[in-house]
Amino acid sequence: MIEELKNLVKEYLPNANLALIEKAYNFASNAHYCQTRASGEPYINHCFNTAKILTELKLDEATICAALLHDVLEDTLVVREELKEEFGEEITTLVEGVTKINSYKFNDNITEQAENWRKMLLAVVKDTRVIIIKLADRLHNMRTIKYLPPDKQKEISIETLTLYTPFAHRLGIYKWKSELEDLIFEVLQPTKYHEIKSKWEARSESNLKNLEIVEKQIQEKIDPLNIEYRILARPKNLYGIYRKMQRQEKPFSAIQDLFGLRVITDTKEHCYAILSVVQSEFNILENSFTDYIAVPKANMYQSLHITINSDQNVIVEIQIRTEEMHRRAEYGIAAHWRYKEAFNKNGAANLKQTDINMEHHLEFIKHILESQKDVKDSNEFLTAIKTECNFDQIYVTTPKGDAIKLPEGATALDFAYAVHSDIGDRCMGVKVDGKIVPLDYKLKTGQRCEALVRKNIRPTENWLSIAITAQARSRIRKYLREHKKK
């Protein structure tokens, strides 16, 4: 295993400290000696596979070493001082970041879970690699979850669906997010999972043939442009198909775009050139075009999305992006981190720009920690994480035309606090598209909103049952706390 791991790292890091990686492997192997997993295999296999998953993201040797060692402080007799002496501060800090707090300190599982997430998020703000190691660890645990008792499988899957998967999405690591969703889907809804899987497999051969025809047609149209590009076929993940069936209230037979095509080119200008060809040469489904290059998603995802109906009456979603956008779409924040490392030797200007990108990614984590620093309720803290990681967002505008971004399900009261905390504190209602609505009214994308204030209005306990954003709830609690003291 160690030779396989060293070879994988050497492929993308020719000058990597392979001796350090081998030392970490041997240290972990000795520390976990005689420990086995639920499958009966040696525990070191899990450490190896966690590290192997991280080589897909081409991470540095310190991260690979930390992945190999990620459970030694939690599950063995190794202590921090010993680990630091052997591997230094950087690797030890990464291992500490993913290490859970001793469970004997808590009276219930919810409090334990909340405090472990609070501890990890504090570590993530200091070093992004902590959450990447944790996600790789959870991905391998989900791949091998079948060896656990059914009730434990369900408990871990629910936690993964509500916390880890949204985090992977929020950080832009779509490759891991999709696999986690399918693994969770199989555990929580096995009948529905296997039903959709069998239907998908029955249609996949004909879909692939149709996709090849469409791909050839696209190539014939793009080739005259004389630009660099490549095309990849992408099957939709099963959980994504299931969610689409639910959203559109359609049976599987009515879902046509089971596969998509990615057209990857070298520059942003060439993305729009390819888009122009697709729009002029194919039948475009109405309202199917989205420009995430001009307006990136919150996790910096960029791509052009458009859905066509081919000559064979095959509906295919096409995503057009550059190579850099594609790396970011697959690996999200990890792609930024790798970019930062690549430019370490090439001057502060490039590094500074990359740090700005990283800061943008971590802003929502800082927001969670800041807004929840005085919160003692564990459920409240976990709910704040889930809300902030919610990637289904809405956009509303103020009378001045400013866009306000809110999580799906946000209320008029959340909007008022998003405009300004003082406006939220005095909000009596919100005018939405010219009509006054109550504070608990749920907003929708595209609405024009104006907060209405009155001097004698003040937050009440009831407002906590209306607001869903961490910002609004934190401000309401602050007012109630100060008012109670007075």
Q: Which of 59-63, 294-298, 321-325, 399-403 has the lowest mean pLDDT?
A: 294-298
Please state the separation of Cα 124 from the chain's center in Å: 14
Compute the distance between CA of residue 93 and CA of residue 136 in angstroms, rounded to an integer: 17
Interval 313-359: pLDDT, tens: 778 889 999 998 998 888 776 665 544 444 344 333 333 334 445 55
Q: Is 414 a catalytic residue?
A: no
Residue 324 sits in a domain whose CATH number is: 3.30.460.10
- pLDDT over threshold 70, residue 360: no
| CA neighbor of 136 nearest in space, from 56, 234, 239, 238 | 56
Interval 181-191: pLDDT, tens: 999 999 999 99
3-state secondary structure of 233: strand
Please state the separation of Cα 45 from the chain's center in Å: 26
Contact 213, 310 (CB under 8 A): yes
Residue 171 sits in a domain whose CATH number is: 1.10.3210.10
Give strand pairing partners of 394: 406
Looking at 293, 314, 331, the residue that finishes a domain is: 331
- pLDDT over threshold 60, residue 394: yes
Contact 454, 434 (CB under 8 A): no
Mean pLDDT for the chain?
85
Q: For residue 351, tell me if it sits in a domain.
A: no
Q: Which of 75, 86, 291, 408 is catalytic?
A: 75
Residues 481 and 435 in one domain: yes
Residues 75 and 178 in one domain: yes
Residues 183 and 194 in one domain: no
Q: Which of 22, 56, 74, 90 is catalytic?
A: 74
Interval 67-114: pLDDT, tens: 999 999 999 999 999 999 999 999 999 999 888 766 556 566 777 777
Q: Checking DSSP bridges between strand 315-322 and strand 259-265, what pairing results, if any?
A: parallel
Residues 115 and 52 in one domain: yes
Interval 10-69: pLDDT, tens: 998 899 999 999 999 999 999 999 999 999 999 999 999 999 999 988 888 999 999 999
What is the number of structural domains in the chain? 3
Residues 310 and 239 in one domain: yes
Q: Is 75 a catalytic residue?
A: yes
Contact 437, 416 (CB under 8 A): no
Range of the domain at 444: 392-485
Name the helix (H) or strand (E) containing 300.
none
Q: Record the pTM.
A: 0.76
